[in-house]
Structure 1
């Protein structure tokens, strides 16, 4: 009898210990990705809006779409977030350690190390769950552009900045912004220029941040509003594109100097700006006639005050979004699906 009691106690101890271990391992902010099963199941190419794309260090192309985040390995498409979130995805980034960041509309940001997803929302410290832009600065910090604010993540905690009327202010109270109230406070684009200053483009104003003060970016006393994309080219020039067309800022002049530092390149509405390996500038833009086009500005024409653009026929697409040059030199762009341009032909992956 005593032997049976000892055996029973020993079994209960094993069950209790195993149960406790399971509880310790549980982390509500982490979701097992089931990535291996996704990897084995080939998905069709996305056939909804493709907002942004990046190519990782291994050559895979990642796409933020309305159907989830897709990965293309050169042969097949995989919906990586299919079993993790049903949210629409807007932005993405590969950080310097090779980890991926995905920004969703309504479900916050996801960090993916190749095996496990970690979800960051307002519960973890974000000001809002709509992540419209993601940027990694020179120090390795991650900047998340949200609806209504900007969040700086240092690997441990969030430092938040809230868009107020014609300014941005740091918030230490844990203030949150309601979801799905995007314009005019959506943060569209974030960069750090070669001088260490940050540029933030929003649906409202565009701001320059020197680490202490946020200044509204303007030209001849007119602020740049609803800027959708900002980049710094290889020469240090800043390109801004949005409601007021395409503009180039000559970095050899001071932003506070009057006149001459900004040049208007195009008056068409600009959705995205991208610099390729040769220093050429690509834009997705809406023409006065209606259809959107890919425009290519060759770097050798930049000596002209207003370089001429070569417009590529994209089959009368209603809207164009992100642009990416792959390592093989092909140009990818997002629309109602994903497309690849190889100099003469455009491949529509939905039809393949």
Structure 2
């Protein structure tokens, strides 16, 4: 009788468990990650790099420079030695020195000198102004150097595109690179050059707003290439753009340029344009950044989120972005993409979803 009671009890327990389903275990919570603290709706995350040590660097247009070591963010501001909190570009040279372009002047972060300087983080580098500096031409023209972009050539020399023209640094001194006249157009030494690219053949490409087309320097002369005008549709007006900024040369040798109406691809003979009508996602087709990942896939960032181009068609991604206007894209060593947007938005894109690495500072963050 005793054994029969035990058997009945076990039978009831077994069927009761089966009816209720498997016993639920507490699921592990999503791993928390550090956030980039930001001001409410202020500025953009507009440039980034991963240095040789694996640290990620992100420059913003209002909140200085951030360094991320996979554990926490460290913010650097004017109080830390930066000449401005508006960071335009950042580059690590072959010696491990990190060059930071701001809207005031050039700054340098040299890890090898931190101990000798008592831990002072940044050195401010003054690029000598040209003797024939033109008079003030507007609110964006300043007596200090706004550095738009930095490029290190195969020769080891650094090229700087600034509001006062293009400069070459050979490790000792800065030399102005003056282009007064070019075949088919005029390139002046003011703020018309915003991006510089060296292709695999050693040619230097220049481009930016204010220029007609793009320019190529082969070491001896400069040639101007005209471009088909691409249209950006505003709410009440249409604006055409025939300038372009060189972004990259892909594994097939094509050179890609960005434009506020789309993008161009140059195959060595002809320029092919890509706009919203060609399937590029976005509100107006504006493109601010183009990169090629380790697998040869091209990624475009602009006013309508992130776009992937596989050589045939575009696929858009923007769900999860608070503000889908993308200014920069960075691929890290693991193959993940980091995306910087307006309103100081920073996201990690793992191929499917955007993980937010920004948060608001102040009372709004409590909501």
1:84 aligns with 2:81: yes
User: Is the 2:305–2:324 Cα contact (8 Å) retained in structure 1?
Assistant: no
Runs of 4+ more than 3 Å apart: 42-48, 122-128, 162-166, 219-226
Aligned residues: 277
Query: Deviations along 1:182-230, whole A, 9 cap, x unmatched?
Result: xxx3432211111111001121222111122222222479997442452
Secondary structure of the equivalent of 1:322? strand
1:59 corresponding residue in structure 2? 54
Question: TM-score, structure 1 length as denominator?
Answer: 0.71
CA 52–208 in structure 1, closer or farther in 2 if over 3 Å, else same: same
CA 63–221 in structure 1, closer or farther in 2 if over 3 Å, else same: closer
CA 124–218 in structure 1, closer or farther in 2 if over 3 Å, else same: closer
CA distance in 2, matches of 1:214, 1:221: 22
CA 75–146 in structure 1, closer or farther in 2 if over 3 Å, else same: same
User: Is the 2:109–2:122 Cα contact (8 Å) retained in structure 1?
Assistant: yes
Match of 1:167 among 162, 176, 186: 186
CA distance in 2, matches of 1:221, 1:241: 12
215-224 vs 241-250, greater mean Cα deviation: 215-224
CA distance in 2, matches of 1:43, 1:347: 11
CA 150–224 in structure 1, closer or farther in 2 if over 3 Å, else same: farther
1:135 corresponding residue in structure 2? 151
Secondary structure of the equivalent of 2:294? coil
User: Is the 1:110–1:120 Cα contact (8 Å) retained in structure 2?
Assistant: yes
CA 234–213 in structure 1, closer or farther in 2 if over 3 Å, else same: same
Give the superposition deviation at 1:135.
Answer: 0.5
Give the superposition deviation at 1:164.
Answer: 5.4
CA 275–98 in structure 1, closer or farther in 2 if over 3 Å, else same: same
User: Is the 1:43–1:79 Cα contact (8 Å) retained in structure 2?
Assistant: no
1:73 aligns with 2:85: no
1:188 aligns with 2:194: yes
Note the residue ranges of structure 2 that are not aligned, 5 or more in a row. 1-33, 115-120, 134-143, 231-239, 277-284, 361-367
> C-alpha root-mean-square deviation of aligned residues, in Å?
2.8
Query: Deviations along 1:88-144, whole A, 9 cap, x unmatched?
Result: 1110001111110000002x1111111253322245779751001010000111111
1:157 aligns with 2:173: yes
